[in-house]
Structure 1
């Protein structure tokens, strides 16, 4: 025994030492694998901290998860890595997790190298650039519990062998170009808890009845996957189901009674399908938290047993054909937060106890046939944010308690039969942003002070009276006041500093317009027509550079029209039916203002025009001052003779000098369209009075072509030797591109006129100017009668503009013989005609590519801050995706109303929008309050999301313009198809 013990001790020592060496060698081997990965991926900046040290240091790296000093997990989410998945990654023999979400990994097929990772349980390849089909032998990854392949380019049919991965608990196959239908074998995944199949736009599948076998499934997401047919009755067999989203598909037929059978079901989204029939009872799903069956073809009434859903927080049934009375029991639901029933045929009164027992936040019941009064308890619990009840037949006074509801942000109750005074506290409600009361029978007066946050007040077509308060400046943030067709009297306030839009037409206002109007500089729309305003038009109106719409018609104004008024260049002007005298400013002597001066007998014009309806001033002067003209003519003739002699001498000298230096000033006109003007008409119109804009490359003039009265826009390239070479290239680029393409959404280049020292581009003139003027200067388009409500850039117009611009860019990228990249897409380069059709302009920086999708490298970055794609700023490499990024910024401008460089003090709009979502804030909070309507929320949110998608950091994650156009057309089609022009809205939980 004494000899055996030492031998045993020595043996144990050697075994321990051997195990230590083996362990140390294993750790060194693992670290070597990691360093090889880093080198294979080009030593990315995000992995610069991977520095070899002691053998176990890699377990402290944040991308690495270890167990017992051995690597079990690799996670590179959002690391901006570009590369492939090498086979040697499976030399990490204990690897259970491989996560490369949102990078630039690529491969022409599924990375089969991972088959050798025998312990792999979690695989996330989402948001990368993998191609090809899911292999038929993917079942070899038999240990997988989670598989996420979303946001790649996997195509073809989804392999049925996925149904053999029986350990799967989570399967995400979202947003890939799959074709065919969903394999019924997915129903064999008996342990599956989460299934995502949404946004697979190339598929046209039915919902497999075999999915009913997924007894453990809690989450089913199949939004926008072109589902057809009926919802199978087996859906009720998913007894664990909690969240069901089948929205934005083409489902038909009735909603099966079995849908609400699962006891754990809390959320049902079926909006935007083609479902019909009546809503089935829901008593078997008492745990329901949210029901969204909106945007279908459902009929009948809301079942009474909906009042038994005590856990219900949100009910959205909008945009159906539902009718009947809204059950009173819904008003007693204790957890109800959002009730959205607009755009149906409901009648009768609203549930009288709405808001009494719950923290009600949003009541959206517009566009129905509701009668009676608004429930008095809406804000009993102090959480009410929005009341949207317009286009009904509601009557009586507003509930008094609304005057004490400090949480209110928006009240939209126009087009009803309300009467009486507005509760005094409502005018000054703490958080109120929008108050829309038009087309009712309200009475009372405007208060001296309004809610500090109120930005829009609409009260047209009521019976309000009294004077407009002189202290409008106390209204702080109010930018829009529409008070047409009321009984207001007194004078126009001198101080209008917060307002951009003021409509006071069809009232009883009198007195003269104030001459001290420095506080009016924010105005861009002013309508005071059909009042009793007298006196002269103040000259100071001409200094309001932002004023683009002015209507002073049908008043008692007299005297001359100030010449300074011609500086405004308004899109709409109406001074008709007054007592004005003298000649009109020369800037208005064209067809655009043909009806602006009617019924002013003492007005005249200095030019003759077929489309102009005024007497000729020169003919009147000739009749009354014939002798004076003869004397003046003799003097003028003498002066002309002297000047002519001087001019001839000067011309001879100049011509001699130019010939001496070999200069030739002959103008050359090259036309690209049929023209109705000559080069001399264009050249004579390049005067200071016709200047409408200037930029980095030149000046733009608006020139009237006689005798037709048509207008053209003329771009004159700057004459600057330092910039000569740069602008020469831009000039040639614009001529080359615009002369070779024809598209309704690309500005028409009519001709170019040039000589050795000057270059002119002549375009079709677009009367509504550029998109940025409408979005960011709050301009408004032409209106032709004070009886017509003001034209605003509402959401349908904005979406129409987005579609038009996308059509132009899609044509440039995909349909030209050589793809064209614009490089300077921005809202100021999208021009609008009278019908708000968009045309893309300014091709001075455009570049033709050798091949679609193939990048080119530029010597310098060009573009405008806020619109420049990040990879272009860093690498100067261009392809179509830099235009997609810029267009995405425009979509964010259209939806939020913000400028491209208006995120906050440190970020652009695109960065601000992304952070808004990352912070978990609702999209609806980011939308432009000026156009945010319940009936448009769905489109606005979808376009906002599309803007985020287009402004992705990685160009490969951005959609093509063809795909962008497809999404926008779908949004636009949904608006056109809605009854009463009410668009779609998406349901949001609080």
Structure 2
């Protein structure tokens, strides 16, 4: 038989048949190729021939080589047009690519409803429409895409319910639906997706309060489950342990209550567990079942009791974070023996007793954070046994004894923060020069010894104040090239200040007060180009204050009080925010720029000084001379001439503007308007434009006029019209597009909602949701007057403290989302009370993103060509360097906190300083904070809470960005302070020391750890 078959195959007939089959297949492949190529060119034409598809041409090489196309066996199976600024609907011809399985339109501006014509792509397995401007509901027949394994609709404007039909997509493995506008229900049927591996519904803030569906615990293949920020309530289901494959679980930032179920610890594959920012309570249950658990994060709850010894049975545990709770008792010895532990964090608790001695010896410990507890005894000897310890944070405890000698050999260490303990003895010699060390912070202990000649060049914060160090500041200080902050206050240093100290290129803060230093200031003091703060008070320094000190252009605080300086106050002194030259031997007349009440205590106890004003409490000077009178007359004449010239120029400018406005009015609405929507709208561009009359104007700003326009279904919308000024045309257009780009891609309850944008060749309009109570500044600074609301009625209303706190939390939530939760961090750059809008319930929303910029990477600095913003809110480093980071928003937010607590305006701390400068000065001179608070809302029951918010404002407006908390940390402090008040706890409001020491109540600490 085999021989017969071989004979037949060799016959001419079968050879000819095989030839025809090959030719037929080739023709079929060629026809398919031509058909698919034509479809691609049709898609290109539909998208109006965008430049990014310029290589899609007929004569080009095979379309299978184009980067947007994926082919299998010569046929198109995948199309990816990602981040290409598409602002049209998806082409209906897409499914003419009959073998298409993979479609990706992520990160565009595609409008409209869900494209149901994609149902014609019968083989579709992967669909990514995320980060677009889709509106409406997900269709109820979504299960028509029956082969889908991946469906990503996140970062869109889909609303309503998540349809139950999703539960019939049996092949579905990944379902990301985060950051949408869902405001209905999520279905139990999701529990039927037996193959589901990823479910992400996080940050759907508009979902109504609901419990976690019990049926979802049947998802036994689910590995990743994220549902933070979804208004979850009730308890975590006990049978959550049935989700056996779960590796990552994040249900934080909800309102979950009750105990942590023991079923959680049956999840043997769990590697990440986040439960923070809920209201979970009770003690931590035994966890002996969870032998494969590798990371446990129960941060920021209300957990009480002791840390269970059973944690020691989790042999695979690599990370344990129990911070920001109310845990007490000792740390179990078993935790020190965990063989895989890398990250250990228990800061902000009430733990006591000594530390287990075996910490570090059994595992390659990387981070050890036990700050803010009541721990005592010595540090474990072997914390850096394996040489991989990066952070050692133990401040605010009662630890004592000498530091482990092994730390001197710990070359990996980046951060050493041991301040506010009772450590003593000498610093291990190798620790001074540890190459990687960046933060050396051991203030408020009892360390002794002399300073080294050499210091690690990477150390930026060198803080050793309030210890027992002695001897001279060595000449080798010139090698400390990386030091930014040198704080050695309250020690026993003697001798003169070495000349070498002036050549440190990065030094911004030098605190050497309360020592035994003698002699004059270094002659090369002008070299301190970056110095912002200089405190040399309470020493025995002498000689004249050099005139060169007036050339330190960024110097902001200078304290030379209680020394033996003589001679005159330098004539070229620039005006400083904080100046103290009291208790010296200075003589002569105080420079005129300091003759005001802001410096009332700056020159006291200098018998030889005089002043022309009584505000300084000094002897009056006899300064009335014919020469000075002649100068005054000349100045008056020059002033009059200048005013005449200015008036003439103003008249010319006004005439030009009037002529131009008349021309514009004649043009009417003839220009063609283009509307781009980001939500479902029931109005057109003509409805908006025709209503922009003078009668409807509700405000104006640097970039134009704001109107209130009535529309059907929404009541009112706010319309921001950007004025057309040809000299600023490019700048305004850039601002317009920045705001559109930011607001159309972010979703949060505390960020104003952008409905659409409208533009023509001459005007640009942004249409927002309208919020009844408008901007915060209208309420905060008209509290003593009658304030008209939108209906024209009059409110006699004081913004009470409870509303102010809610506003502060709302703003913090919005900015925290922008900085930490957006896929690309966003810096607002113009946070101020007039850009905080209030709804009918006084919930706050951040608005006006015309100056916002997206950063390339979190924390990365971006340099802007010029400084923009509002006086009083601008961070000092932004003025000096024009560099942008999230911390400039933190500074502005801190100013708002000071406004809310004091009732003062940002630009008026007093007649000569901003609010932030005034507030810092009040703290430095030891003022009672209670006396600084707004009397309109100050009540005994709110005093402590107001004090703590004021202190947080001081921290947020710190001169140094690194000293400011992140927005996420600031938000946590606000929430915790609110809790402490409701729990009846009281905090001390008065600071007797100039530096901002940590609050005695840890729930409201101000120096929040940057990496906590």
Normalised TM-score (structure 2): 0.67
Query: Residue 527 of structure 1 corresponds to which residue in structure 2?
Result: 535
Q: Does 1:357 align with 2:388?
A: no
Counterpart Cα distance in 2 of 1:585 and 1:502: 25
Query: Residue 538 of structure 1 corresponds to which residue in structure 2?
Result: 546
Counterpart Cα distance in 2 of 1:745 and 1:515: 52
Counterpart Cα distance in 2 of 1:832 and 1:302: 49
Q: What is the Cα deviation at residue 229 of structure 1?
A: 1.3
Counterpart Cα distance in 1 of 2:646 and 2:242: 91
Query: Residue 129 of structure 2 corresponds to which residue in structure 1?
Result: 125
Query: Residue 313 of structure 1 corresponds to which residue in structure 2?
Result: 318
Query: Residue 951 of structure 1 corresponds to which residue in structure 2?
Result: none
Specify whether residues 745 and 272 from structure 1 end up closer, same or farther in structure 2 by C-alpha distance, changes over 3 A only.
same
Q: What is the Cα deviation at residue 373 of structure 1?
A: 0.5
Q: Does 1:181 align with 2:192?
A: no
Instruction: Indicate the SS of the match to 1:414.
Output: coil
Could you tell me which runs of 5 or more consecutive residues in structure 2 were left unpaired when the two chains were aligned: 1-6, 655-724, 736-773, 782-819, 854-863, 894-957, 980-1001
Q: Does 1:805 align with 2:831?
A: yes
Deviation string 1:102-127 (CA, Å, 9 cap, x unpaired) is: 222222x1110111111111111111
Counterpart Cα distance in 1 of 2:875 and 2:316: 48
Q: What is the Cα deviation at residue 557 of structure 1?
A: 1.7
Counterpart Cα distance in 2 of 1:865 and 1:389: 34
Query: Residue 958 of structure 1 corresponds to which residue in structure 2?
Result: none
Pick from 988, 994, 1004: which aligns with 1:980?
A: 1004
Correspondence list, 1:52-451, <5 A? 52-53=58-59, 57-107=62-112, 109-203=113-207, 204-451=209-456
Counterpart Cα distance in 1 of 2:639 and 2:142: 86
Query: Residue 719 of structure 1 corresponds to which residue in structure 2?
Result: none
Counterpart Cα distance in 2 of 1:575 and 1:527: 11
Q: Is the 8 A contact 1:410 1:435 kept in 2?
A: yes
Q: Is the 8 A contact 1:805 1:838 kept in 2?
A: no
Q: Does 1:559 align with 2:583?
A: no
Query: Residue 715 of structure 2 corresponds to which residue in structure 1?
Result: none
Specify whether residues 287 and 664 from structure 1 end up closer, same or farther in structure 2 by C-alpha distance, changes over 3 A only.
closer
Counterpart Cα distance in 1 of 2:510 and 2:57: 66
Deviation string 1:691-714 (CA, Å, 9 cap, x unpaired) is: xxxxxxxxxxxxxxxxxxxxxxxx
Q: Is the 8 A contact 1:497 1:522 kept in 2?
A: no
Pick from 471, 477, 481: which aligns with 2:482?
A: 477
Deviation string 1:946-971 (CA, Å, 9 cap, x unpaired) is: xxxxxxxxxxxxxxxxxxxxxx8688
Instruction: Indicate the SS of the match to 2:233.
Output: coil
Q: Does 1:547 align with 2:547?
A: no
Query: Residue 875 of structure 1 corresponds to which residue in structure 2?
Result: none
Specify whether residues 985 and 153 from structure 1 end up closer, same or farther in structure 2 by C-alpha distance, changes over 3 A only.
farther
Q: What is the Cα deviation at residue 301 of structure 1?
A: 1.3
Counterpart Cα distance in 2 of 1:179 and 1:394: 51
Q: Is the 8 A contact 1:464 1:486 kept in 2?
A: yes
Q: What is the Cα deviation at residue 486 of structure 1?
A: 1.2
Counterpart Cα distance in 1 of 2:116 and 2:314: 49
Query: Residue 600 of structure 2 corresponds to which residue in structure 1?
Result: 594
Instruction: Indicate the SS of the match to 1:420.
Output: strand
Counterpart Cα distance in 1 of 2:332 and 2:646: 91
Counterpart Cα distance in 2 of 1:866 and 1:39: 43
Specify whether residues 104 and 725 from structure 1 end up closer, same or farther in structure 2 by C-alpha distance, changes over 3 A only.
closer
Q: Is the 8 A contact 1:101 1:126 kept in 2?
A: yes
Instruction: Indicate the SS of the match to 2:83.
Output: coil
Specify whether residues 812 and 347 from structure 1 end up closer, same or farther in structure 2 by C-alpha distance, changes over 3 A only.
closer
Q: Is the 8 A contact 1:224 1:247 kept in 2?
A: yes
Greater shift, 547-556 or 264-273, is seen at 264-273
Query: Residue 511 of structure 1 corresponds to which residue in structure 2?
Result: 519
Specify whether residues 665 and 103 from structure 1 end up closer, same or farther in structure 2 by C-alpha distance, changes over 3 A only.
closer
Instruction: Indicate the SS of the match to 1:139.
Output: helix
Q: What is the Cα deviation at residue 746 of structure 1?
A: 13
Specify whether residues 430 and 746 from structure 1 end up closer, same or farther in structure 2 by C-alpha distance, changes over 3 A only.
farther
Specify whether residues 747 and 612 from structure 1 end up closer, same or farther in structure 2 by C-alpha distance, changes over 3 A only.
farther
Correspondence list, 1:811-960, <5 A? 811=837, 828-831=867-870, 833=872, 890-891=888-889, 936=965, 939=968
Deviation string 1:515-540 (CA, Å, 9 cap, x unpaired) is: 34243333221111111122222222
Instruction: Indicate the SS of the match to 1:259.
Output: helix
Greater shift, 116-125 or 265-274, is seen at 265-274
Specify whether residues 296 and 664 from structure 1 end up closer, same or farther in structure 2 by C-alpha distance, changes over 3 A only.
closer
Query: Residue 591 of structure 2 corresponds to which residue in structure 1?
Result: 585
Correspondence list, 1:668-817, <5 A? 744=777, 805=831, 807-811=833-837
Instruction: Indicate the SS of the match to 1:471.
Output: helix
Specify whether residues 231 and 664 from structure 1 end up closer, same or farther in structure 2 by C-alpha distance, changes over 3 A only.
closer
Q: Is the 8 A contact 1:201 1:226 kept in 2?
A: yes
Q: What is the Cα deviation at residue 608 of structure 1?
A: 2.8
